Structures are given as C-alpha cells and as structure tokens.
Structure 1
Amino acid sequence: MRVPPFYERPTVKRFFAGMILGVIIGWFFFIYQYGQVYEGLVFRISEQQAIINELQDDIDLLRSEQSRLNEENQKKLTVQEIDIQFSNDRRLRLNQLTLLDLKQQALNELQYIKRKDIETVSNMNDLMISNLENKVFRAGDKRYQLEVEHVHLYTTVRIIVKIIPSNS
C-alpha cells in the first residue's frame, strides 16, 4: 500500500502554499495586534504610575503638614488663663472689694502654672491645691482660707473654691 503522490498536483501545491501564507499572515496580524494592545497597556501603566507618584507626593506632603500642625497644637495646649470662682460668696455676704482682693491674692499664688503645658499642671495638681488651701489670705482686717472644691484643667484652669473665715 502506498500513499498517492498528491504533492505533484498544482492544486495541492496551491492549497499548502495558501495554508503556509495564511499562517504567516495570521502570525504577523497576531504580532501586530498583540503589539498594539501591549503598547496601550504600557502607556496606561505608565500613566497610572505617574498618578500614583503624584498622589504619593501629595500624601507625604499632607502627612508632614499634619504632623507639623499636630506639633503646633501640642505646643498651644498650655495654660493660658486662670479663673477662680467662689462657691459660697453670697452666703458669707462679702463685699465685692473683699472678693476681688481674695481672688487677686489666689491668682498671684497660682501664677507659676501660667504658660505651662496642661500635662505638667495636671501632674502638679495636688501641689496647686495644697498651695491654695494652706495659705491664709488677708482681706482688709480679716483672714480667710480657701478650700478647693473642684479643678477643671484645660487652656483655662477653672478652680471653684469655698471661702472659710480663719480664726487665727
């Protein structure tokens, strides 16, 4: 049994030549299309990389600005003002001049906490309270002591005190 020699016929030769030519043209078409798609993807990736780099720079700038603002705010959290309020001034019926004098003396005792950061003032809260309570204040010819009822710490230190007439 033998295979007939089809390669000698011109139609078979044209068919195989067409197939080979089709494969070559198809291969070039595939390479061209793949190159176009690949070029588009490379361009798109490079665009996205540029956007990512730009956004990363923006993030770094915002983070550094945020940390700088946080440090400034940390520095701003200092005691700016001291406010002393009396809880029993109406009951004792003290005149305004005596109350003002007591308030000024108490403020003078607490001047050392002004311009200090809130954390430091919070740590020396007991010292501040004992400093006010152990001092005898003179207003006119009478003596008074202060008893601290409540302390509120923030940029304004608010102290509510009770006035106690001193016997000594």
Structure 2
Amino acid sequence: MRVPPLYNDKSWQRFFAGLAIGIIFGWLFFLYHFGLVHEKLVLEINRQKTTIEHQEQTIEVLRKDQDEINEQNQKKLTVQDIHISFVNEKDVKLSELTYHELKGAVEGELEVVRNKDIDTIAGSRDFLLKTVENKIFIIGEKRYQLKVEQLILYTSLEIYVRITPAE
C-alpha cells in the first residue's frame, strides 16, 4: 500500500499555504494585542505605584504632625475631675450623710488642683498626699482622719482613702 501523492494536488498546497500564512498572521496579531495590553497594564501599574508612594509620603507627614500634636496636648493636659472613693466604706459603717460630707470636705481641700497641669501636680504629689492625710475632718461631733491608699493621676484625679477615727 502506498501513500497517495497529495503534495502534487494544488488544493492541498493552497490549504497548507493558507494554514501557514494564517498561523503567522495570527501569531503577529496576538503579539500586537498582547503588547498593547501589556503596555497599558505597565503604565497603569506605574501610575498606581506613584500614587501609592505619594499617599505613603502624605500618611507619614500626617503621622508626624499627629504625633507632635499629641505630644503638645499631653503636655497641656489638666486635671478636670476629682473622684474620691472610700476603701473601707462597709467596715466603718457611717451614714450616707457623713460619707457625703466627708467626700465634700476632701474635694474642697483638693479643689486647688482642678485645672492645673498634670506635670505640676505629679511633681507635688507628696504635698497633695500630706494635705489629705494630715488634715482632721470634723463631721458633726466626730473627728475623722484619712489615709491615702492609692492615687491615680490623669485628667481625673482618683484618690482611694481609708477612713480612721482621729485621736
């Protein structure tokens, strides 16, 4: 059996020539469009990179400004509120009126620290503690002395005190 000599047939020659030319044109068309798409994507990526770099620089500048503002604000922080809590409130068993008057008296003593810089008050913390501990508070006919257990100083001054009868 023999393979028929189709290479001599003009229709088959035209078919294979058209196929080869079609493959070459298709490949060139693909390369052209791939190049266009690739170029557009490269330009878009470069544009996005410059935008990202610009945004990162802007963020860095804003962070530095915000940090400076925060530092300045922390230096300017003042005491806004004074809170007094009694540690042994249940043990002493005083009336609500006595607690209220005692709390008011202590707040009256500490009123001078309201709207003062936290740094200033922190420097004179011992003086503040001595002011509360050395004072004898007279409520009704009874005398009370307070011992400071804990002092928390920030925008609100929190003092935890222990009530003891004065001698």
Per the alignment, residue 11 of structure 1 pairs with: none
Which one-letter code corresponds to 1:131 in the other structure? T
Which amino acid in structure 2 is aligned with residue 161 of structure 1?
Answer: V
TM-score by length of 2: 0.60
- The 1:150/1:60 distance shift into structure 2, 3 A limit, reads closer
Structure 2 match to 1:155: 155
Match of 1:84 in 2: 84
Whole-angstrom CA distance in 1 between matches of 2:147 and 2:55: 58
The answer as to 2:111 corresponding to 1:131 is no
Question: RMSD between aligned alpha carbons?
Answer: 2.9
2:122 counterpart letter in structure 1: S
Distance 1:166 1:60 in 2: 59
Q: How many angstroms does 1:77 deviate by? A: 2.4
Residue type at the aligned position of 2:148: V
Number of residue pairs aligned between Structure 1 and Structure 2: 124
C-alpha distance in 2 between matches for 1:122 and 1:75: 12
Per the alignment, do residues 75 and 123 of structure 1 end up closer, same or farther by CA in structure 2, a change over 3 Å counting?
Answer: closer
Q: What's the CA shift for 1:59?
A: 6.5
Larger mean Cα displacement after TM superposition, 105-114 or 75-84 = 75-84
Is there any run of 5+ residues in structure 1 with no aligned partner, and where? 1-46
TM, length-normalised to structure 1: 0.60
Any unmatched runs of 5+ in structure 2? 1-46
Residues 60 and 92 of structure 1: CA distance in aligned 2, closer, same or farther (over 3 Å): closer
1:8-87 map, 5 Å: 58=58, 62=62, 65-67=65-67, 69-75=69-75, 77-87=77-87
- In structure 2, the residue matched to 1:103 is 103
User: What fraction of aligned residue pairs are identical, expressed as a percent?
Assistant: 42
> 1:85-127 deviations in whole A, cap 9, x for unaligned?
1111211110000000000000010111111222211111100
